[in-house]
Each structure stands twice: as structure tokens, then as C-alpha cells.
Chain A
Amino acid sequence: MIIKQKLDLNYTLSFGKMTRWVSGLLEGKAIALKCSQCEKSSFPPQRICDCSSSKNEWFELSGKANILVKTSGVDGDFAIAKFEGSDNSAVVRLKGFKIDEMNGKISSCDPSKPSLNLIPIKSGNE
């Protein structure tokens, strides 16, 4: 015997300290955390720095990023990219990149789905 059952879940998500990061994504801004102790910058932001410090401050990156490695296929186009001014890298969704394009800029996203999207840097896009 088989019974079909559907579960609808309507979450109300809050992001607490990470609200600055999420709201930045919605606006197409790269908002990072800088460690107050060792001055390393993280994007995506890390609550605790690799140096173990929990003291940090928000600041805005330029939003430009260099792609280190890309993947594409039926699951979509993604990459690991290093944003200008950040000491770590980020996994990003690629939008409209050609095979040889390796530089991009953060773009705004659907307000209902905050995501880290990268578009290629072309003239008029910079």
C-alpha cells in the first residue's frame, strides 16, 4: 500500500548578526567581516576568525571577484571566487559567464532567495 502525503512548511527566517551579510546580497553588495585582532577579512563572513578572535567589524568590499575554479553542468554554473579585499574565498552562482571569463562582480538577487551571484565584468557592467 502507498499513501501520498504532502508537507508544506512556511519558515520565517531571521539572520541575527548575519543580517548585514544577507541584506548585502539582496542589494548586490559584498559585506564582509574584518577581524579586529589580526585584520583578516572574511567573505562569506566568519563569526570567529582563524586566529580565534570573536571581535570583528562589518565593511563593504568592492564586489569584484576573481574566479579560481568553475564547474558547470545540469546542476548549474558555480565557482569558487576570491573577492577583492577578502582573505578567504566564496562559492558563488555564476550568471552569464563564458568559458574563458574569470572576473566578475556581485549582483543583486531575488529578495525571497538571498544568494551570492556573480556576473561577468564587461564594459558598462563595472
Chain B
Amino acid sequence: MTFVTGYNLTQFNRRKDGSSFRDWVSETFESSLETSSLDRRDIDTLIVSSESDFFTLQLNPASVIADDLGLFNIEALRVEGGGASGQLAVHAGVKSILSGASKHVAIIGFDPSASQLPSETIKKLYSYSFDAWTDGMNGVSATALYALSIQIFMSETGLNEYDLANLTINNRENACLNPGAHLKINHSQDEILNSTIISSPYRRLHCSPLSDGAASIILSHKNYIPSKRKTAPEVIGIGSANDRVNLGARLEMGEFNSKTISMKNACKMADIKPSEIGLAELYDAYAGAEFQAIKALGLSSNFLKDFRNRRFHKEGEMPINLSGGLMGQGAPVGATGVGQTATCSMLLEGEYHDELQINNIPKYALADTHGGIGTTSATSILESNIN
């Protein structure tokens, strides 16, 4: 019913060229529009995602972006759910199409997470994205919260520091082949294991960077797909779920249980099983978070064995984070979930970067995003339409 007729990601990096987030949004939208072969006047809903007005210094960003893009007399709104903002915006677009309210929805995620504020300020603002009255006031960083959770996960699963290092190497190796990626760096295991400890066991090189950038998709109702876009992939399942915001209030503090529920809901809508997923873009804010996601989403019955056997590697049976993920491609927060869905769409249509496009295109792809420490999870399943 809902097809991704347009998609694009701008370069993710730390901008030093004097451009603004409004330029990046225009760039990505025009490119998506061109891919879709639609006219801007065909868009009847605009949904933007950005994590914080503190980053952009712009309240009601949908209003100025609609104006910048020449979109008038349409529904224009913003969706926000922390790190999950972009994927929740995709879901809002799908729901708009499914309800019959829209024929074509433009979804644009963006954030100037790197260049507009000092990194220490961004870090402080991030600590208010957990419970501001408990974790925020305590001054606990996102890295520290993730570090506490992954230690429990490691003690329960046998995941070790070499696995964390190898995942970091994998994702950044993929990023080296992605022209739009922020961290195109080949690390050695020693470099990672000897980098500065931010919050044990997490070291500097286990963390995703703060990035600037934007990403967009255009969703179209099946009755209105442009004739040139017959191979556009379909969004066949969406699911979302939350967990207790305080880590200590959860029964299983090392698990991302909201993802399990989110995935179950998405699979039910798509009428498929997690084992049928052929590639995935997962929310690897930290190296360990990708392992926690793989397990919670049910993508493997033995994630550690599969990882060590390179099943999730770019040449593996089920590649994960071919883009480089947040750790390699980068993390302009509001753009992340939209970018994941755009990446899955390109891969399913055989239109991804030459050195990362897989030849044996699978039937199903998964885009999974979360806010907090797996507090707000949002999952989308896409189906290829090329055969």
C-alpha cells in the first residue's frame, strides 16, 4: 500500500563550509523528488524530524522548511522521539498514506548535531533526553548509561571487548566504502582497545560521532505511484514500543525489550518472521548497542556465533549496517531513522553505492531505530519490488 518512491541522504559529517541545516534539507528533498519523478505540488503532507530545538535554534521547523521547499497549503508537522525521531516520522507518513489522508508524503530528517554547538553542550543536552529529573540532574552521560547496560548484557551473553572492537572495525570498514559517511577510518584492534575510556567498557572509538546532515524519503500510495517508479520498495510493516525510561526500573537492564515488541508488531503487520530479514540497518549508537539490537530483534538464534562467523559482515548471509551505521556513517539524530529507511530502500532496489550494493538482493530489509537506551523503539520492514 505504501511505497518508497524517493530517497536520499546528504553527506554526514561536521560541516565547515558555511552551509546550514536548511541547505541540507533542500538538497536532500530536491534529490528525493527527482528520484520519485514527482512534482513538489504532488506532495500533500510534509513530516520533518529533528531531535531538539536547542540544536537548530528553530521552533516549529516544519513551517520554515515547508516554505523553503515551496510546499504550500499542505499538512506540515514535526515528529520527535529522541534518537527514534526519524523512524517515528516514517511511521507517521505510512499511517497518513494508509489512512487515505495523503497520496504522497515527504519525510525529511535533519540535525546540526556537530557544527552549531560545542560537543560538551550537545552531550549535556543529550543527558536530558533520558529522565531529566533523575539521570539528567545526575549529569550521567548517554555513554555511561549505555555502558551500564552493556556490562550486564556482556556478563549474561559472553560478549567480550574483542567483539566490541571487531564490530567497530566492521562498521567503519563499511563506512570507508560509503562516500557519504562521516568516519571513513580503518582502525586496528589495538587502536580501539587502547583508545580513551569514556565510560568503561566503552572507549572513544566504540562511540558514534556527532554529525551534521539530512536525509529524506517520499512515500506514495500504491494507486499513485509514478509510472517510472514501478520498482519502488514497499513498507510492509511498522512497529513501535517503549520501555521504562529509568534503566534501573527495568526487569532486564541489559536487554532492549522494547525492540522485541516493536519487531513483533512490525512482523505481524508484514506477515513475516524475523528470520526472513535479509539485511538490516540498526541503531549502533555504541558498538555494544548493535549486539543488543540483533538479539532483541530476533535476527539470530545465536548472535555471538553468527557475528564471529561473519554472518553480518558485508559479504555475509545477512549484512548489517552496510552504510557503516551510526558508528561509521554518522549520527545527525533527526536524520538517522529516515536515512536508515532510505538506505534499505536503495539496497532493495539495487541503487546503493557500488562497493556496498549486494548483488543477491534479499526480499526483506529492516530499519530499526531507538531513542534513550532502547526506551523508544521504532522498526520498519521493507519489501523489494524488483522481481
The residues of A with any CB-CB pair to B shorter than 8 Å are: 1-2, 5, 7, 15, 18, 22, 42, 44, 46, 68-76, 78-82, 88-93, 113-116
Would you give 28 A-B contacts (Cβ < 8 Å), ordered by A? A44-B134, A44-B248, A69-B151, A69-B152, A71-B148, A71-B199, A72-B197, A72-B200, A73-B144, A73-B147, A73-B202, A74-B198, A75-B140, A76-B141, A78-B140, A78-B144, A78-B145, A79-B148, A90-B246, A91-B138, A91-B246, A91-B247, A93-B139, A114-B137, A115-B137, A115-B138, A115-B139, A116-B134
The residues of B with any CB-CB pair to A shorter than 8 Å are: 18, 57, 131, 133-135, 137-141, 143-145, 147-148, 151-152, 196-202, 244, 246-249, 253
CB pair A73 B247 closer than 8 Å? no
5 tightest Cβ-Cβ pairs between the two chains A and B? A89-B248, A73-B197, A71-B147, A75-B141, A71-B199
Question: Known interface pairs A5-B57, A69-B151, A116-B134. Does A75 touch B248 (Cβ–Cβ under 8 Å)?
Answer: no
* Chain B residues positioned under 8 Å from A42 (CB to CB): 249
* Chain B residues positioned under 8 Å from A92 (CB to CB): 138
Question: Known interface pairs A71-B151, A78-B148. Does A89 touch B249 (Cβ–Cβ under 8 Å)?
Answer: yes
* Chain A residues positioned under 8 Å from B147 (CB to CB): 71, 73
Question: Known interface pairs A44-B248, A75-B141, A91-B138. Does A2 touch B18 (Cβ–Cβ under 8 Å)?
Answer: yes
* Chain A residues positioned under 8 Å from B247 (CB to CB): 80, 89, 91
In angstroms, Cα B143 to Cα A1, docked, is: 33
In angstroms, Cα B144 to Cα A34, docked, is: 28
* Chain A residues positioned under 8 Å from B143 (CB to CB): 73, 75
A92 to chain B, nearest CB (A): 7
CB pair B18 A1 closer than 8 Å? yes
* Chain A residues positioned under 8 Å from B139 (CB to CB): 76, 93, 113, 115
